[in-house]
Structure 1
Amino acid sequence: MSKISWKPGNMIYPLPAVMVTCRDRGEDNVLTIAWTGTICTNPPMTYISVRPERHSYDMIKNSKEFVINLTTKALAKATDFCGVRSGRDMDKFKELGLEKEEAQAVDAPVLAASPVNIECRVEEIIPLGSHHMFVAKVVNIMVDDEYMEENGRFALEKTNPLVYSHGGYFETGKQLGTFGYSVRKKKKRKKQHGGKRK
């Protein structure tokens, strides 16, 4: 295998393609974000990085609240649309027929069609260059009970999650393992007792 040096850039793919909803002074908006992820488990914290020229940037900066809505294969077209069209020019909810519901812990809408709505409150804004990072605490999560299993597990994989990779949108594939499977000891089969049948 041979490798070549390439220009510095962001090559950490795939990433979740999420739709972020926000509200400021009675106006609602939704934008697509790929620069997002987990920062901390306890307390639960996340981030989104937004270009300052985006319409939602000032809305989130003013309100200090937003919701990360996970996307699915069914939301692929809406996800792309909300990344290339501005809320300055149109009501994207109305344009796409996206149903809104109210968040429970923040003053912002959530997308009814999203299987997971992560309500966030901004703790810090870090100017980084092309994007500014909104560091936020997760204050509530709403999930679609259609994907709740009897044991209390949320089956996110059944929602057909959408991911973004180097300019393209992809649905996720089959599961290859679970956390820790590489070091997990195999259970020994119990020997069956009893003689031969006569």
Structure 2
Amino acid sequence: MEKRQLGPCVTFFPQPTTLVSSVGNDGQVNIMTASWVGIVSKTPPTMAVSLNVNRATYEQIRQTGCFVVNLVPASLAVEADFCGLKSGRDEDKLIAAGLTPVPASKVAAPLLDESPLNVECVLRDEVELGEYRLLLGEIVEIHAAEQAFTESGSMDARVFDPLVYLGGIREYWNLGQKQADAYKDGKQLFEKKP
């Protein structure tokens, strides 16, 4: 496969599209679209979010020590894009985007009702990366849409319909169809063909 060198940049995909909700000491709630988000540890369960130090969301997380990462379903692509372009200092993005904050169970920052998966985090550490900070949040609770569970108790990922962002080419996509199962019980579920 012939390849083109792109140099150091942020082209890597897919990246999850999330809405990070935060609250300041004054009680003001803010949301911002973030795609530089991911699970970075199982013990303790930890999520990392990279934010520019000039963002209102970063300021609020530093004030209250908590945040919620809300998975964005493909049906909210327009609202997510809007929340990534506007500042919470200038506009109430929740009202403008028609999104509904609901109380979290363990942190002060709210969940977004329209999100099928919400991850409550307590800020444990941060790493300086130029104008950005990698915030490490210990996961203290996860909320998943009830309709995502089958009768046997397993989760049906189609209900989440996660929106992903293709960084570098600035496009949103859904995930499409399942291609295979991962390893299960120590055995590979599909074998390579010779």
TM-score normalized by the length of structure 1: 0.89
Partner of 1:115 in structure 2? 116
- Residue 176 in structure 1 maps to residue 179 in structure 2: yes
Alpha-carbon distance between aligned partners in 2 of 1:145 and 1:158, rounded to the nearest angstrom = 10
Any stretches of 5+ residues in structure 1 without a counterpart?
187-198
- State the partner residue of 1:39: 40
Deviation of residue 185 (structure 1)? 7.2
Tell me if 1:102 matches 2:112: no
Report if the CA contact (8 A) 2:18-2:69 is conserved: yes
Offset, 1:2: 2.3
How far is the alpha carbon of 1:122 from its aligned partner? 0.5
Distance 1:68 1:23 in 2: 13
Structure-2 separation of matches of 1:48 and 1:150: 34
Report the Cα offset of residue 157 of structure 1. Answer: 2.5
Aligned-residue sequence identity (percent) comes to 31
SS at the partner of 1:142? strand
Answering whether residue 62 of structure 2 is matched by residue 61 of structure 1, we say yes
RMSD value, Cα: 1.6
Partner SS, residue 57 of structure 2: helix
Distance 1:153 1:36 in 2: 25
Gaps of 5+ in 2: none
Give the aligned partner of residue 30 of structure 1.
31
Aligned pairs, how many? Answer: 186
The offset of 1:5, in angstroms, is 2.4
